[in-house]
Amino acid sequence: MISPIVVSAADAGKFAKHMGFFVYEDGAFLGGAIAAAEKRRLWEASKESGFKAVIGECTEIPEMAQGGRRIVLVGLGKKKEVCAETLRRAGAALYRHAKGRWEKLLISAPIASAAPIFEGFMLASYEFTEYKKPEAARLSSAGFLAADAREMAGLRKILDRSSAVCQAVAFARDLVNRGASDKTPEKMGEIASTLAGPRVKVDVFGREKAAELGMGSFLSVARGSDDEPAFVRLVYKPAGRVKKRIGLVGKGITFDSGGLSLKPPASMETMKMDMAGAAAVLAVFRALPALGPRLEVHGFCPFTYNLPGPRATKPGDVVKAMNGKTIEILNTDAEGRLVLADALCLAAQEKLDAVIDMATLTGAAVTALGSKVSAVMAGDKILLERLLRASRESGEMMWELPLVKEYRELLKSDVADLRNIGRVRGEAGTIIGGLFLKEFSGDAPWAHLDIAGPAWSDKASSYFSQGGTGAPVRTILRYLESL
């Protein structure tokens, strides 16, 4: 992944001769460290190639008198419609245009637009290379042009923040993209332990400690696998006064076969991504020391496989969660809510100011909202509005689904306090999942993010590569920074 640097005007010529500018469809430039007459000349030259400056469109203008320098213009569309997400897409388009052409590129954009352009550029440069050679890409470095010393200092601050966020997203993507056999629950515990440092403490425990704590729901999922489960707890503490204490809970099913309620083979092909919620939690903790929010943040990640082994939980079994509630398991493929139940109980014991869980929980969320939008359900309107605002700012789309009280009846069991699926199959599956989790969330403000769609991309586009996307890392970090 490329991390752009800040380049002064005096050093621009030494750094790179090729430059990228951003332009609206009316020919106006987004800032740009060149004279107005030069902008007009470049715009007129671009029109000769049919350039319309639609969002993400790129055109290249050769400057032979300048030693073969190339100017790239990137379209932004209509000025009145441009937002941060437009700029991210434009930054990604510039990277994809330049990556196979040159070794270095200089980027000209005003400081107010630098963060989203940088995010799009950097995220588009991500590539998962654990199992193969990287694609041929000549571009090795990029620089943002600063007009003066004051702008240079401001750009460095912005890019430092954006770099920490993008590196965290890349970390989450790497974890999701890794093969399921290479991320056993114990291995995920080891990876989590590498995040420990002066501000972050990490504790990992296994089956025995989980049993002592009464995590019957979590352990019921782990029964089908020979690999030991691992429960990861993380705590970030700032240097100074703590403003709030926030909990983050992530589903960590490192492979989901469905258990004895076995999935069809095609449905298992991407189930290495069923730990994307926990990957996002770990990625947030990777970024927190660099961002330094005045918060105490607690992370809870239950890791296990969901496999149909000889000791696997059977439909009709009843298990008990940490808070004493009993659960009749009627579908072992509705296992994410079972591991999250005990994680939420543990979070509730901390008496936090807010708790957010994130999980690839239901296929119903993909049916309802598609692959680009996460479902969000919350028992607290203030928490909900803050999350929705953060999602708008990050470009990771979310949509509220209601926690319909009347649907709680569908979770009633004849033999236990709850059943793990609704009585009416195929009805309100995502909401039913949220209502189930609410039973274990305690008294703190709580929100549930169903990221089943956005956590994975079937093909590369804009600033996404094929595979794990890192959702909702950017939203959660934006939310934490806003408190």
Tokens linked to 352: 């936090």
Q: Compute the distance between CA of residue 19 and CA of residue 154 in angstroms, rounded to an integer.
A: 21
Question: Which phi-psi region, left, alpha or beta, contains residue 447 (left: φ > 0; alpha: ψ -120 to 50)?
Answer: beta
Reported residue count of the chain is 483
From CA 120, how far away is CA 124, in angstroms rounded?
6
Separation between Cα atoms, residue 387 and residue 376, nearest integer Å: 9
Structure tokens at 235: 């705590």
Contacts 24+ apart (CB under 8 A), 264-271: 270/456, 271/180
Helix (H, G, I), strand (E, B) or coil at 91: helix
Q: Provide φ and ψ at 284, rounded to 5°.
A: -60, -45
CB 266 within 8 A of CB 344: no
Catalytic annotation present for 187 = no
Tell me how far the alpha carbon of residue 433 is from its chain's centroid.
21
**Region of residue 370 (left: phi > 0; alpha: psi -120 to 50; beta: else):** left
3-state secondary structure 308-337: CCCCCCCCCCEEECCCCCEEECCCCCCCHH
Is 372 a residue of the active site?
no
Catalytic residue selected from 96, 99, 337, 386: 337
- Residue among 166, 235, 161, 244 at smallest CA distance from 198: 235
Measured in whole angstroms, how far is the alpha carbon of residue 299 from the centre of its chain?
A: 15
Amino acid 76 reads L
Q: Which of 263, 294, 389, 392 is catalytic?
A: 263
Residue of 473, 74, 445, 461 lying closest to 288 (CA atoms): 473
DSSP 335-356: -HHHHHHHHHHHHHHT--SEEE
Phi and psi at 220, nearest 5°, equal -65, -30
User: 354 and 476 in contact (C-beta within 8 Å)?
Assistant: no
Pairing of strands 326-328, 318-320: antiparallel
Position of tokens 């996307």? Answer: 469
Residues acting as catalytic residues: 263, 337
